[in-house]
Amino acid sequence: MPARHWLFKSDPESFSFDDLLRAPGRTTRWDGIRNAMARNYLRDQVAEGDRIFIYHSSSEPSAIVGIAEVVRAAYPDASALDARDHHFDPKTKAGAPTWYAVDIRAVERLARPVALEEIRADRELSKMMLVTHGRLSIQPVAPEQWKGVLALAKRAPAKAPAKTAAQVRARGAR
């Protein structure tokens, strides 16, 4: 089966693409997923060799910033069993895992971040789950969407529209 494409969300305050680049072997365990739909993607579909866009959420701007690859397919997420971990789930039992993790390795930083607003503004990319199911932390990316994001990353960002004279005057009046 050909490799699939995914988007994994991360709050850069917790773990950024730079953190992944600095990790030993540029590799880390991607754990702490506590949404059933995202868990099902991790457990049932994400496979070794799949490519991943790393998306920084809760940042300004929220954007796809880099590419990683899956180097180990789903295995039980030990953080769910660790009462000291903030991802602890008291309902999870050893031997009957509820939650899963994968290992990922950084491949490369995009030429430039591709902001959510650019994705929303693109007719084809606006159909991405990132736009239609924004809160989901693990999302499939269709091959044509993958190529579209890579193409955007290679282009200069669109310039903001010029302000009208009335907008300039209104700002100066504040």
65 Rama sector, left if φ>0, alpha if ψ -120 to 50, beta otherwise: alpha
3-58, pLDDT tens digit by residue? 899 999 999 999 999 999 999 999 999 999 999 999 999 999 999 999 999 999 99
53-78, pLDDT tens digit by residue? 999 999 999 999 999 999 999 999 99
Q: Which residues have CB under 8 Å from 138's CB, separation 6+?
A: 6, 7, 8, 9, 33, 35, 38, 39, 41, 42, 46
Alpha carbons 9 and 16: distance in angstroms, whole number = 10
100-136, pLDDT tens digit by residue? 999 999 999 999 999 999 999 999 999 999 999 988 9
162 to 118, 159, 165, 167: CA distances (angstroms): 17, 8, 9, 10
Determine the pLDDT at residue 157.
Answer: 77
pLDDT band at 159 (very low <50, low <70, confident <90, very high): low
Contacts 24+ apart (CB under 8 A), 163-167: none
Judge if pTM exceeds 0.85. yes
Q: Which residues have CB under 8 Å from 31's CB, separation 6+?
A: 77, 78, 79, 87, 99, 101
Alpha carbons 97 and 89: distance in angstroms, whole number = 10
Q: Which residues have CB under 8 Å from 60's CB, separation 6+?
A: none
Determine the pLDDT at residue 165.
Answer: 53
Which CATH number characterizes residue 148's domain? Answer: 3.10.590.10
For residue 16, the enclosing domain spans 5-172
- The vertex-127 CA angle with 126 and 131, nearest 5°, equals 65
pLDDT, greater one: 123 or 83: 123
Number of domains, the chain: 1
